[in-house]
Structure 1
Amino acid sequence: MTKTPIQILYVDDEPALLEIGRLFLEKSGDITVETALSAPEAIRLLSDHAVDAIVSDYQMPGMDGIALLKHLRSGGERTPFIIFTGKGREDVVIEALNNGADFYLQKGGYPKALFAELSHMIWHSVKQRQAEMELTKSEERFRHGERVLQSMLNATPAGVGLLKDRVFQRVNRSLCTITGYSEEELIGKDPRMLYPDEGEYLRIAEELYQQIGERGLGIAETRSRKKDGSEIIVILSLCPFNSDTMADGITATIIDITESRRAEEALQKSEKNFRELVTMGPFTCTISDVDGRYTFVNQKFEELAGYTSSEAIGKRPDELGFITNESYQEIISQLRRTAIIDGVESEITIKDGSTRSVLISSRYIHQGEKPQIITAIIDITERKQAEAELQGAHEELKSQDEELRMQYDALAQIQTEWESTFNTISDWVSLITPDGEILQTNKAIEPLLGVPADEVPGRKCFELVHGTACPIPECPLQRMMVSRRQEISVIPKQNGTGWLEVTLDPVMNPNKEIVRAVHIVRDITETMRTQKALENAKKKLNLLNYVTFNDLQNMILTISGYQQVVREMLPEHPVLPMITKQEEILQKVGHSLKFAQSYQGLGLKPAIWQNVRHIFLMAISHLDFLRIRHTIRFDNLEVFSDPLFEQVFVILADNTLTHGASAENVVLTSITNEDSITILYEDDGIGIPDEIKDKVFLADFQKKKGVGLFFSREILEITGIAIRETGVYGEGARFEMTIPKGTWRYAGDGE
Structure 2
Amino acid sequence: MFILYVDDEPTLLEMGKIFLEINGELSVDTVTSAQAAFKILAAKNYDAIISDYQMPEMNGIEFLKNIRAMGNRIPFIIFTGRGREEIVIEALNNGADYYLQKGGDPGAMFTELAHIIQQAVLMRRTLLTLAEQEQRYHDIQNANDLIQSVDPSGHFLFVNKKWTDTVGYDELELNNLTIFDIIHEESLQHCMEVFPRVISGEDVGIIQAAFRTRDGKKIYVEGLVTCQIIDGKPLYTRGLFKNITDRKKAELELLQRNDELRAAYEQMTAIEEELRGQFEVLALNEQRIRESEEKYRTLFNNTTDEIYSHELMPDGSPGKFLEVNDIMCSKLGYTREELLSLTIRDIVSEAHRQKMSGIKEQFSGTEVTTFYGEHKKKDGSVFPVEITIRRLKFSGKDIVLAAARDITERKRAEDALYERDLKANIILQNANDAIFIHEISKEGPGRILDVNIQACQMLGYTREELLGMKIPDIDVQEQKARVPEILKTLFSHGNIVFQTEFLAKDGRRIPIEDSIRLIQLDGKPVVLCISRDLSVQKRAERDLDVANRKLHLLNSITRHDICNNLTAFSGYLRLAQGISSDPKMASYLEKMESIQQSIGQQIEFSSVYQDLGTTTPTWQDLHTLVTKLPFPKNLVVHNDIKDIVVYADPILEKVFFNLLDNTLRYGEHVTMIRVSAHESPDGLLLRWDDDGVGIPAKEKEMIFKQGHGKNTGLGLFLSREILSITGMTIQECGEPGKGARFEILVPKEIYRSVGKQ
TM-score band, normalised by the shorter chain?
A: 0.3 to 0.5
- TM-score, with normalisation over the residues of structure 2? 0.43
Q: TM-score, normalised by structure 1?
A: 0.43
Bigger radius of gyration: 2
- Higher relative contact order at CA 8 Å, sep ≥6: structure 1 or structure 2? 1
